[in-house]
Amino acid sequence: MTTVVHAFRDEAAEAQRLANALQVPLAFVDVHAFPDGEIVPCVPAPAATTIVYRSLDQPNTKLVELLLAVDAWRSNGAQRLILVAPYLPYMRQDTAFRTGEPVSQRVIANLLDAAFDRIVTVDPHLHRTQSLTELFPTCQCTHLFGADALIPHLRAFPPPAGTVVVGPDVESDPWVRRIAAPLRLVHTTMRKRRQSDTEVELLAPADFDPAGCPVLLVDDICSTGCTLRKATSLLKSLGAGEITIFITHFLGGRKVLEELLRAGASRVLSTDSTADVTDGIHLADLLAHALREPG
């Protein structure tokens, strides 16, 4: 046995889908918690190439578990460690915004770069950083797109005629185009002015008239849901038809899902990069295809 997938038990379903797609065995890491809160992971026997599935939402606990487990994998014979982390945390803080703050992106990237030989992730939320190779000089990196997992779903269940693909801000334009182009759909993006961590103002393009049109509203990350709620409300005020939301990384949980539906969304889709409370788009085939290719 030269390749195996290892995972933590809280991501059993996602890891099993990946192992099935790769046609390799799956084994689980067990984590023991001591009364003082410290933890110790116990890894199964690694293969020469060990693929570690660990999406890193809720990162403060998961990162400690993961980095401790890396020592055990290496000590027990893993020659090549590949981290499949559909959600990669702390990528947004790429500068010190106030005196006294760390550059969190750099700190986390340095830790993971030293620990793994390859990292496969989906839609990392990069701003001023142009590519993952700037952050990970040692390990190989593969940057995948959640849109590429959505497209097969949309081919199997075509959106209504006249659907417009809309992004809530200019940063969403790459995802909008990646979905709209192969399906030959009309697309546009709004403009966003952020007023605080939870308050934004959105403006639709002057020539945009969605009246009566079904809308596919897409974004890479949803945590509070503020931007997507505002976008949904604005689209409804302009007379848009049925609104489906697609998010690569849905971090908001059931409360935010319910708020999006109350704002006027008919349906919310997201990938299974995080705990799935929406209609899930599975990433396993996309991840497996990338893992079969050279890093």
**b/e per residue 252-270 (b: at least 16 CB within 10 A):** beeebbebbeebbbeebbb
User: 22: which DSSP letter?
Assistant: H
Facing residues of 27 across strands? 6
How many angstroms separate the CA atoms of 124 and 126, rounded? 6
Is residue 92 within 8 Å of residue 85, measured between CB atoms? no
Residue type, 143: H
pLDDT value for 292? 94
Q: Are residues 176 and 246 in the same domain?
A: yes
Q: Which residues are catalytic?
A: 192
Helix (H, G, I), strand (E, B) or coil at 155: helix
Identify whether residues 123 and 135 lie together within a single domain. yes
Domain span including residue 248: 147-281
- pLDDT at residue 171, rounded to an integer: 87
Q: Report yes or no on 291 lying in a domain.
A: no
> Tens digits of per-residue pLDDT, 103-115?
999 999 999 999 9
Our CA angle for 65, 46, 88, nearest 5°, is 40
Q: Is residue 288 part of a domain?
A: no
Residues 139 and 155 in one domain: no
Structure tokens at 96: 């010190």
Phi, psi values for residue 287, rounded to 5°? -65, -45
What CATH code is carried by the domain that includes residue 184? 3.40.50.2020
Query: Does 47 reside within a domain?
Result: yes
Q: How far apart, in whole angstroms, are the C-alpha atoms of residue 225 and residue 155?
A: 27
Q: Are both 68 and 113 inside the same structural domain? A: yes
23 and 111 share one domain: yes
The total of structural domains in the chain comes to 2
Asked if 136 and 114 count as a contact pair (C-beta separation under 8 A), the reply is no
Give residue-wise pLDDT tens across range 207-234: 899 999 999 999 999 999 999 999 999 9
16/139 same-domain check? yes
pLDDT at residue number 93: 84
Residues 58 and 84 in one domain: yes
**One domain for residues 115 and 161:** no
Q: Which of 133, 97, 91, 143 lies closest to 113 in space, CA to CA? A: 133
- For residue 113, being part of any structural domain is answered with yes
Say whether both 17 and 34 belong to one domain: yes
Give tens-digit pLDDT for 124-180: 988 777 789 889 999 999 999 999 999 999 999 999 999 999 999 988 999 999 999
Give me the residues paired with residue 140 across strands: 118
DSSP single-letter state for residue 97: S
Residue 293 lies in a domain: no
From 125, 144, 163, the end of a domain falls on 144
- Whether residues 112 and 180 share a domain: the answer is no
- Domain end residue (candidates: 124, 144, 164): 144
Which of 100, 123, 144 marks a domain boundary?
A: 144
Does residue 86 lie within any of the structural domains? Answer: yes
User: At which residue do the structure tokens 């704002």 appear?
Assistant: 263
8 and 106 share one domain? yes
Q: Are residues 118 and 178 in the same domain?
A: no
Helix axes 284-292 and 12-22, enclosed angle (nearest 10): 50
Give the Cα separation of 254 and 276 in Å (integer). Answer: 9
Residue 72 lies in a domain: yes
Q: What pLDDT shows up at residue 98?
A: 87
Quickly state the pLDDT bin for 1 (edges 50, 70, 90).
low
CA distances to 121, 208, 215, 273, 280 from 53, rounded to whole Å, are 10, 42, 33, 11, 18
pLDDT the model gives residue 189:
95
In-domain check, residue 84: yes
Sequence-distant (6+) residues with CB within 8 A of 173 are: 167, 189
27 pLDDT more than 60: yes
How would you write 203-255 as a 3-class SS string? ECCCCCCCECCCEEEEEEEECCCHHHHHHHHHHHHCCECCEEEEEEEECCHHH
* Ordered alpha helix ranges (H), the chain: 12-22, 59-75, 104-115, 146-156, 173-183, 226-237, 253-263, 284-292
Query: Token pair for residue 189?
Result: 């993006």
